[in-house]
A and B are shown apart, each in its own frame.
Chain A
């Protein structure tokens, strides 16, 4: 589903190489986790895949379902089925959450040449999905993320994911700033979306999120490359021993 080959990325404004040859394949139906210390390039990878400005791809490729991602605008990537759950969701005062969601859903449908969702159908679907995430009508009416707690923002991200039904979901440190209950709620939301046609890339510092969202494959990223790949046990190893041993092995 997601095929990353030899991806090299540097910051546009300074001559600093962040990703130094990332190879990664995420299959449909699988959950891949990427762990790694601060500054290893995890978030950069998520931004480059979703099309944020400020990065320059110097080598390599990234394809989603056979389509070249790196050539597309962010909105085209979204319509092609890529979704990034943000570490820091942006507040947008004056724009209602519902309006935003509906505009997003219909923009993607339009881009794919599909029929737009009617407001009645949309309302029905959004209410159903919001309920599962314990998002009440009030929160749906409020401006996007404005005055939301950390947990509410992350739940709102998952609601967007549920509404947009992407093919590949990237979760960028979705556990940061969440207490245990909030993390459970978010994880349940993600797990509800797991199915055979959808791949996940879960970026996290800590093993604890992976207790709730069980990965099939765990990658360790360090200094712009994936230095080790294994099963869920690799995450436990990191939890016990830290990254130092793995980094030493690599060096």
Chain B
């Protein structure tokens, strides 16, 4: 079916401005992704899936410039022994990165020309699977045009986290990165991501978690006010595998984080959580799609949004339970704390269930600071501002507690506390 003209023109213009990397092991996958993209077209304002978040600035030929923010906070995960891989405006920074070497991980870069057989089978595969039943054109665009990324195969337990650091160096940078993570049996890896990345960032991560393997992901998106990002995580989970991802987002005019998971093996566990802090010109969109296609799997979606001065939060979360996926335990909660009357939260929780022996629950709320809690703290002598900050931290706690490491929980809570303190009158 032909695309509407506007969409066709926008898609053509965007594609014309990009160049498809030639040759290499990823070439066939890139060509296929380009064909997918041409087929579906880039998202437009009339698309149902983009009803709450305007896609124009994410699909335009040129990115809207975004000033580089002078971040005065200490670097993320500073006290944690980790393997750092640094990209500035989407370009690999070898000097700032550690050697790509860690026991039980094989590393390569997407831009490496050497044939990587296992990655060839995976690159673009999960993204393609994630295009049904809902289209995600920005992910197809990513697979086709990503300029770099890390390709890693995890063959056993890993001693320290792998940290992707995304620096923002130029006001007009437009970065497209694509990572592939294959966690094999007995493998267990933690990936940390942080940084504003670019004026506009399109990031995609495909993660295959084999039977019994574990994948942990903690991401901090900050702090540049004008940055824009569209990210996708596609995950496929084997039997008794674990997949946990948490994202803290502060600032940024536009962030859309999509997480698309398929639970294909019995007894798999998937947790997707996030907290965002928005002040003023800020839109944060969490779009999650979890498909249960095996028996006795558990999935949790926990999203908390703190919004003030007209900030907007969006949540589109779906649990799809396929026929036969009995004993599914699905949980979904999305909540916003609206610190004033100007802010808004738009939530679309969806459950679609084709099995009869499942437990799925969902809830969504919007509210102000809890008055009883506020009185309790003030009655102990805490000034109103400090009391409100503590209650805000309490509000996002359910999401932060999804992170297994206490150390990482503490760091993220401290970042949130600092964000709040900077805004306290």
Chain A residues closer than 8 Å to B379, beta-carbon distance = 50-52, 74-75, 77-78, 83-84, 86
With contacts A73-B378, A74-B375, A90-B373 taken as known, whether A100 is within 8 angstroms of B383 at the C-beta atoms is no
B401 contacts A94, CB within 8 Å? yes
Q: Are B398 and A104 in touch, CB under 8 angstroms? A: no
Interface bits A71-107 vs B (CB < 8 Å: 1, else 0):
0011101110001101001101111000010011101
Q: A104 near B381 (CB under 8 angstroms)?
A: yes
Cβ 8 A contact of B381, one of A53, A86, A94, A111: A111
CB distance from A35 to the nearest CB of B (A): 23
Give chain B residues whose Cβ lies under 8 Å from the Cβ of A52: 375, 379
The reply to whether B384 and A93 contact each other, CB–CB distance below 8 Å, is: no
Query: Shortest beta-carbon distance, B399 to chain A, in Å?
Result: 10
CB neighbours of B398 from chain A (8 A): 93
Q: How far is the CB of B239 from chain A (nearest CB, A)?
A: 33
Question: Size class of A's contact patch?
Answer: 20 to 34
Chain A residues lying within 8 Å of B387, measured Cβ to Cβ, are 75
Q: Does A174 contact B (CB under 8 A)?
A: no
What A residues does B384 contact at CB under 8 A?
73, 75
Q: How far is the CA of A79 from the CA of B381 in the complex (A)?
A: 6
Any B CB within 8 A of the CB of A29: no
B413 in the interface (beta carbon within 8 A) = yes
Q: Mark B346-370, 1 if CB is under 8 A from A, else 0.
A: 0000000000000000000000001
User: Which B394-416 residues have C-beta < 8 A from chain A?
Assistant: 394-398, 400-401, 413
Q: Is A143 an interface residue, CB under 8 A from the partner? A: yes
- Which residues of A in the span 36-63 have a Cβ within 8 Å of any Cβ on B? 50-53
A179, B59: Cα distance in complex, Å: 64
Residue in B379, B394, B396 whose Cβ sees the most chain A Cβ within 10 Å: B379
Q: How far is the CB of B154 from chain A (nearest CB, A)?
A: 31
Name the A residues within 8 Å of B396 (CB-CB): 94
B382 touches A75 (CB 8 A): yes
Contact A78 B378 (CB under 8 A): yes
Contact A103 B386 (CB under 8 A): yes
Known A94-B397, A95-B394, A100-B390; judge A107-B383 contact (CB<8 A): yes
Residues on B with beta carbons closer than 8 Å to the beta carbon of A126: none
Q: B411 CB to closest chain A CB, in angstroms?
A: 14
Cβ A89 vs Cβ B376 within 8 A? yes
Cα–Cα distance between A105 and B382 once the two chains are bound (Å): 9
C-alpha spacing A90/B401, complex, angstroms: 19
Q: Report Cα–Cα, A157/B143, bound state, in Å.
A: 57
Instruction: Identify whether the interface residues of B are mostly helix, strand, loop, or mixed.
Output: helix
Q: In whole Å, how far is A106's beta carbon from the nearest beta carbon of chain B? A: 9
B376 partner residues in chain A, CB cutoff 8 A? 86, 89-90, 92
Min CB–CB distance B277 → chain A (angstroms):
14
Residue among B376, B380, B384, B413 with most chain A CB within 10 A:
B380
Asked if B78 lies at the interface with its beta carbon under 8 angstroms from chain A, I say no
Measured between beta carbons, the chain A residues less than 8 angstroms from B373 are 90, 92
- B88: shortest Cβ distance to chain A, in Å? 34
A160 within 8 A of B: yes
Beta-carbon nearest neighbor of A92 in chain B = B394
Assess whether A108 is interfacial by the CB under 8 Å rule: yes
Chain A residues with CB below 8 A from B393, complex form: 94-95
Highest count of chain B CB atoms <10 Å: which of A73, A86, A94: A94
A-facing residues in B31-72 (Cβ within 8 Å)? none
Q: Is the CB of B382 within 8 A of A103?
A: yes
> With an 8 A cutoff between CB atoms, is A7 at the interface?
no
Residues on the A chain within 8 Å of B390, using CB: 92, 95, 100, 103
B18 to chain A, nearest CB (A): 43
Is the C-beta of A31 less than 8 angstroms from some C-beta in chain B?
no
**Proximity bits, B239-260, A CB within 8 Å = 1, else 0:** 0000000000000000000000
Closest-by-CB residue of B relative to A105 is B381
Is B371 at the interface (CB under 8 A from chain A)?
A: yes
Q: How far is the CA of A93 from the CA of B413 in the complex (A)?
A: 12
Is B378 a contact of A75 with CB atoms below 8 Å?
yes
* In the assembled complex, A130 has its CB within 8 A of some CB on chain B: no
- Determine whether the beta carbon of B375 is less than 8 Å from that of A104: no
Is A164 an interface position by the 8 A CB rule?
Answer: yes
B10 at the interface (CB under 8 A from A): no
> In the assembled complex, which residues on chain B have CB atoms less than 8 Å from the CB atom of A89?
376
Identity of the chain A residue whose Cβ is nearest the Cβ of B409 in the assembled complex: A94
Which of chain B's residues have a CB closer than 8 A to the CB of A77?
379
Determine how close the nearest CB of chain A comes to the CB of B15; give it in whole angstroms.
45
Q: Distance (Å) between the CB of A71 and the closest chain B CB?
A: 15
Question: Which residues on the A side are within 8 Å of B413 (C-beta)?
Answer: 94
Using CB atoms, name the residue of chain B closest to A95: B390
| Chain B hits for A108, CB < 8 A | 381
B391 to chain A, nearest CB (A): 7
Complex contacts, A90 vs chain B, CB 8 Å: 370, 372-373, 376-377
Interface centre among A73, A86, A92, A108 (most CB of B within 10 A): A92
Which of chain A's residues have a CB closer than 8 A to the CB of B378?
Answer: 51, 73-75, 78
**Shortest Cβ distance from A82 into B: residue:** B379
Residues of chain B within 8 A (CB-CB) of A104 are 377, 380-382
Asked whether, in the complex, the Cβ of A53 is within 8 Å of the Cβ of B380, the reply is no
Smallest distance from the beta carbon of A218 to chain B beta carbons, Å?
25
A160 to chain B: which residues have CB within 8 Å? 380
22 pairs from A and B in contact (CB 8 Å cutoff): A74-B378, A75-B379, A75-B381, A79-B381, A83-B379, A89-B376, A90-B372, A92-B373, A92-B390, A92-B394, A93-B397, A93-B401, A94-B395, A95-B390, A100-B380, A103-B386, A104-B382, A105-B381, A107-B382, A107-B383, A108-B381, A111-B381
Extra inter-chain contacts (14) besides given A83-B379, A93-B401, CB under 8 Å? A51-B375, A52-B375, A52-B379, A73-B378, A73-B384, A77-B379, A78-B379, A78-B381, A84-B379, A92-B391, A95-B397, A103-B382, A103-B390, A104-B382
Name A's B-contacting residues (CB within 8 A).
50-53, 73-75, 77-79, 83-84, 86, 89-90, 92-95, 100, 103-105, 107-108, 111, 143, 160, 164
A-B pairs with lowest CB-CB distance, top 5: A94-B397, A78-B381, A74-B378, A108-B381, A93-B397
